[in-house]
Every structure is written in structure tokens, then in C-alpha cells.
Amino acid sequence: MLILLVAAHRFSFSGSGALVQSYLPVSTSITVVRDTQNNKFSVSNIDSPHYQIVARGKYVNSLHESGWDIVEIDAEETASDVHQAFAAGYAEGFLTHRRIWELWRVIRKSVVLSSLLSFMRSQDEFLREKVSELGSTNQYWYNVGLVIAQIDGMLAGYNDACEREHSLHLEELMLMNSDGDKTDLERIFSHHERARRIQDMTKPELIELAERMRCTALIKMVDEDILLVGHATWADFSEMFRMLKQYRFHFHSNPFSTQTMSFSGYPGMISSTDDFVIMSESELVVTETSFSILNETLLYNHINPRGSVLTWIRCIVASRLATNGYEWSRIFEEMNSGTCNCMWMIVELNTTKVFVLFSYIDMISQI
């Protein structure tokens, strides 16, 4: 069976185009080590008994040639799960710090930035409390803890590599990763887009609503041997910092001894956000098409940073733990945040039931 995977991207000019600089080296590879005496992480080639290699990273600056930069992170199997996650984030933050800063200059222009950052601080506090309470006995929260460790590592790697005046705080990096969730959060905090029937909206309001919906997808059987999985993202020029990423972990408590996650994404973000994700070992392809919730009461009254988990985190956790589409759906729906609402499609590439389309596709809609 031939599987064709396509990720396409359409951009429109919004008047806030980002300046993409090309002073980065073409290709850079690093090794992240942990000093076992003080548990400090750094980029080093030191050969010493008390330095443990925990991750290797490669960054290819090819944005101006192909439209995509490339990031490859490979964690060391001998390291603990938390150290793998932290080191992977550290490597990426260190390698791509200039791209992260360039994108942050755009994101920080939000008119409700202070409210968004406050929400991120509350979400982070809640997640760490739950991981501390349940992480040792619950796989879901254990993996949320690994996501947090990867973000912590990225922040450390970024701040170690960047100019001092460009340093970031944790809530700022959390906001970058919440790029999909941010659309709904901005609606909550700005209140400029009121829920009305579509037929009552003005043309400018309809255009604005359409621009807030991020992407669409297509899954099609061409014949018994060819399956097409396509995805298109649309955004303005301020998000043209495109990256193809691949993470390879060896988390000892997860269903597969190796977890390889490949996806289209952006600087500083450890989830796809587009969303277009390929999990090699489970042979799952995860994608979605977005939609807007017009019922303001339904949307706003149920969003709580201390009672839910943002969509991008749940997507990572479900993708790492699930062995099939049904499991992915059940894991993903836990702690629903009500932000970045989409219809998710999970394609099982390892199925033998290729003759019936919906025998190997699971779909879940989030509200």
C-alpha cells in the first residue's frame, strides 16, 4: 500500500510581515551533555567520566532555499526519560535561538499580551501541581511532565545561546507553544468578536472569522493501494518561519521503545500547531481541520487554566501514548481545554483493512 503524505501551506499578507534574516550558518550539529556532579546541561564535546551525553541535535538553515528549516533531535537511550526530554528541548532551543527570537517579536505584539501571559502562568502552575501529585502513578500526567521538561530544556538552551537582552521567560515560551490555543484565548480577553448567527455578521466580521480558522485536511483513497493524506495551513506572512522537525525519544515507560515524531511546525514549538504529525513506530498520522465556536457562552464559560490542559500538550501526550486511533482519541479528550477546537483525524497506516476507508480512520471533534 502506497501512502502519500502532503503538507501544504498558504500565506496571506496582513501588514505585519516578519523580517526573516539569513545570517545563520547553513547546518549546525551539537551534542548536549549532563554534568552528573551538578545536573547541569550544556553543549560540549568534553570526554569526561562525569559528563553524560543525553541528546544530539542538528539544524539546517534552508528556509530561503526550500521554504523550510530542518530540525532533528535524537535523545540518548541510556538517559532517563526526564533527562531525554530536557536535553531535547535544550538542543533545539540552543540551535534555533535566532529563529525563536524572530518569531517571538511577532507574537508579543498581541493587544492582550499581559492577559495571555497570566493565563500561561496559571496553566503552568496547575500542570506542575498535577504532575507532582499524579505523575508517578498515572501515565497521562507522567507524559505531561515530560512535555514540561522539554519546554524547560528549550528555555534553558535558548537563554544560554541568545543575547542577554533577548532572553525569554517561561510563560512567554508557553505562549509561543500555545499558538493554536491563543486564537480562542485572544477572543476571551479582547471580547471584540461576539457570538452571533453567521447570517447576522457583516462581511468584515465573516472575513475575520475565516482568517482565525487555521487549516484543513484531506484523506482520500485513490485506489486499493494508494492513500492520500493531505493538509493545508493558512496564515499571514508573520508565520513564515516554517520548520520540518523530527524528535526521536526512548522513553522507557511508553508503549514503544523508540518514539519518532515527525511534523511540520515553527521555531520554539514542540508540537506541530499546523497540525500534521507522523508517528513512525505506531504508524499513526494525526491531522485536523479547524472550526470556530460561535456560541460564546459555551466557549468562554468552560475555559479554565487550572482545570484543563491546552490542546497542544494533549496532542503530544496522545501521540506518544496511543497505539491506534481509538486510543489517541480517548487520551486526547482527557482534560479538554475548549481551545483550538478542531475535527481531528487519526489515520492508522498499519491496518490491514485497506478496502474500507473508515476502518482505519478515527475522528474526534473537540468543543
Tell me: pLDDT of 293 over 90: no
Backbone φ and ψ for 90, nearest 5 degrees, come out as -60, -45
Per the structure, the count of domains in the chain is 1
> Structure pTM?
0.89
Name the least confident of 15-29, 91-105, 157-171, 238-252. Answer: 15-29
Tell me: pLDDT of 20 over 80: no
**CA dihedral of residues 201, 204, 208, 209 (deg, nearest 10):** 20
Query: What's the mean pLDDT when you consider all of the chain?
Result: 85
Tell me: pLDDT of 140 over 60: yes
Give the mean pLDDT of 145-171: 97
Cα–Cα separations (whole angstroms), residue 269 to 116, 162, 218, 364? 17, 17, 24, 23
Looking at residue 25, its pLDDT comes to: 62
Q: What is the pLDDT of residues 183-230, one digit of tens each?
A: 888 877 875 444 455 556 677 766 666 666 667 888 887 777 778 888
Determine how many CB atoms are found less than 10 A away from the CB of residue 217: 24
Whether the upstream peptide bond of residue 35 has omega within 30° of 0, thus cis, is: no
**CA dihedral of residues 312, 86, 68, 184 (deg, nearest 10):** 20
Domain that holds residue 236: 2-365
Per-residue pLDDT band for 294 (boundaries 50, 70, 90) equals low
Alpha helix (H) residue ranges in the chain:
63-66, 81-95, 97-107, 113-134, 139-161, 170-177, 179-190, 203-212, 296-300, 311-321, 325-332
Task: Identify the DSSP state of 201.
Answer: S
CATH number at residue 116: 3.60.60.30
Give the mean pLDDT of 158-177: 97
Q: What is the pLDDT of residues 177-187, one digit of tens each?
A: 999 898 888 87
Report how far residue 292's alpha carbon sits from residue 363's, in angstroms, rounded to the nearest whole number: 17
Task: Identify the DSSP state of 307.
Answer: S
Looking at residue 203, its pLDDT comes to: 77
Residue partners of 324: CB distance under 8 A and separation at least 6: 282, 284, 348, 362
Characterise 338 by phi-psi region: left (phi > 0), alpha (psi -120 to 50), beta (else). Answer: left
